[in-house]
Amino acid sequence: MGPLQIKDLLLQAPESQSVTLKGWVRTKRESKNAIFIALNDGSTINNIQAVAQPGQFSPELLLTVTTGSCLKITGRLVESMGAGQNVEVQIEDLHVYGTADVDTYPLQPKKHSLEFLREIAHLRPRTNTFSAILRVRHTLAFAINKYFHDKGFFYLHTPIITASDAEGAGEMFRVTTLDLDKPPRTDEGKINYKEDFFGREANLTVSGQLEGELGAMALSKIYTFGPTFRAENSNTTRHLAEFWMIEPEMAFFELQDNMDLAEDFVKTVITYALENCKDDLNFLQNRLAEEDKNKPQNERSLPLLEKLRFVVDNPFERLTYTEAIEILLQSKPHKEKKFQFPVGWGIDLSSEHERYLVEKHFKKPVILTNYPREIKSFYMKLDDDGKTVRAMDVLFPGIGEIIGGSQREDNYEKLLERVNEVGIDPETIWWYLETRKFGTAPHSGFGLGFERLVLFVTGMTNIRDVIPFPRYPKSAEF
């Protein structure tokens, strides 16, 4: 079904066989002896070169063959004499499906800024950079599904619309069918959510974890891979209002198993991308190097592939929060008062602290564990000392926290105490509490922000460039 993909065509042996290809013109170049058309169909970063003879086609037809126009070409696959490709197509027949007017088509063959391309997100997948990003993104998504499937995890679709705000992870989007102009009201004059679609207040989920735990307490190992939402009004290169999360939850996993899984998981999926996206990653490595040329030496990144191999090849450094604080207290920037934020046991590590540990001190990914209970979520298992919880954060160079997780509190009384402590009405999560009442077991899980991973693997710097249609304050175009 459908045409031969250019990715596959480029691998064929040139035996003058008849081939038909379909794709979009990247460039057209005319010389005295030939007309060269570089055609791309999005299956690969590489174009195929199609060659016509002068006079073979009418000037009128050739005028419509411009960057962005869509062609069907029939011809012979032959060895290429040009540099940079093994095969090319001698055109026998050429049909233009759709033109792209040179005066109005925005993607002319020149450098476009990422900012400009964000404004034409409907067309940017036609550029080398964004098609490479989307192929890498696909490959990572597939690797994630394959990893968990191979390990006996079940993909669980946790709900997107939720009536519980238990995670308390920040601002939520309201989901409603009420008439905002004239909402129904109770006798007391309050909004009457009983008349809303779900008969109660409903929001977009910030995490599938709580429901994921329900699955793990029945199927042992589950993972979610779905959209999550934050209505935070933050216009940064690291935040989206809508993003995809992967959240595995495992019965019978303690903190150590959780760390082992997180490290093995992230290494395996990055390895899969390294093995299956060679051309795209090479392209993105060059793009990054090109961009870095404008930066001072000390701000330049490692070459992309080197950075990825480094993560894959080295064991992550594992230490407790308490040990990390010790290191920070002994550090040069702390002693020289170069840190913007104070260091001390109990603080929520800030980005500068995490970066110091990962990029300066250990120079590799770090897993920090056993954080103070006060700065972590209610569902994390209390350590025996009563002061820390079995949390773990995986910190990556340049990215910061890429994975956050913990062993979950499996003791009903201790969990209930924490729920009350943080001010959640236990009635609203009766179903979550019941998993600790009936057949409880030690269990763990973590969350990975998918776009953070794609950001890391592609070497891009703005999260709006690694999701097809980014959602952020004042922007829901496309």
Site string for a copy of itself, 59-88 (x = CB under 8 A): ---------xxx-x----------------
Which one among 42, 372, 400, 404 touches a copy of itself, defined by CB under 8 A?
A: 42
Maximum pairwise Cα distance, the chain: 85
For a copy of itself, the closer of residues 82 and 184 by Cβ is 184
Residue 161, H or E segment: strand 161-162
Q: With CA atoms as reference, report the closest residue to 154 among 208, 206, 220, 214.
A: 220
Question: Residue 27, interface with a copy of itself (CB under 8 A)?
Answer: no
Q: Nearest approach, Cβ of 431 to a copy of itself (angstroms)?
A: 4
8 A C-beta contact, residue 394 and residue 354: no
Distance CA 297, CA 227 (A): 38
Fill in the DSSP letter of residue 404.
E
8 A C-beta contact, residue 54 and residue 35: yes
Which one among 116, 197, 341, 345 touches a copy of itself, defined by CB under 8 A?
A: 197
Among 121-129, 283-291, 322-330, 380-388, the segment contacting a copy of itself (CB under 8 A): 121-129
- Residues in 263-302 that interact with a copy of itself by CB under 8 A: 264
- Structure token digits, residue 5: 């993909």
Question: Residue 257, interface with a copy of itself (CB under 8 A)?
Answer: yes
Q: How many CB atoms lie under 10 A from the CB of residue 343?
A: 21
Among 3-11, 83-91, 280-288, 365-373, the segment contacting a copy of itself (CB under 8 A): 3-11
- Structure token digits, residue 476: 């829901």
Measure the CA angle with vertex 395, ends 241 and 227; round to 5°. Answer: 25
Sign of CA dihedral 345, 350, 353, 358: positive
For a copy of itself, the closer of residues 62 and 325 by Cβ is 62
- Residues in 367-396 that interact with a copy of itself by CB under 8 A: none
Which one among 115, 275, 290, 477 touches a copy of itself, defined by CB under 8 A?
A: 477
- Residues in 144-183 that interact with a copy of itself by CB under 8 A: 145-146, 149, 152, 154-164, 171, 173-178, 180-181, 183
Q: Nearest approach, Cβ of 298 to a copy of itself (angstroms)?
A: 35
Among 30-38, 45-53, 353-361, 440-448, the segment contacting a copy of itself (CB under 8 A): 440-448
- Residues in 122-141 that interact with a copy of itself by CB under 8 A: 122-123, 125-126, 130-131, 134-135, 137-138, 141
- Residues in 453-472 that interact with a copy of itself by CB under 8 A: 467-469, 471
Which one among 88, 167, 211, 383 touches a copy of itself, defined by CB under 8 A?
A: 211
Question: Residue 475, interface with a copy of itself (CB under 8 A)?
Answer: yes
Where would I find the beta strands (DSSP E) of 304-399?
A: 317-320, 366-372, 388-396
Buried b (16+ CB within 10 A) or exposed e, 146-159: ebbeeeebeebebe
Among 40-48, 79-87, 307-315, 317-325, the segment contacting a copy of itself (CB under 8 A): 40-48
Distance CA 284, CA 301 (A): 13
8 A C-beta contact, residue 237 and residue 467: no
Among all chains, which residue has been given the structure tokens 């082992």? Answer: 260
For a copy of itself, the closer of residues 46 and 331 by Cβ is 46
Which residues touch 144 (CB under 8 Å, ≥6 apart)? 225, 246, 269, 450
For a copy of itself, the closer of residues 245 and 325 by Cβ is 245
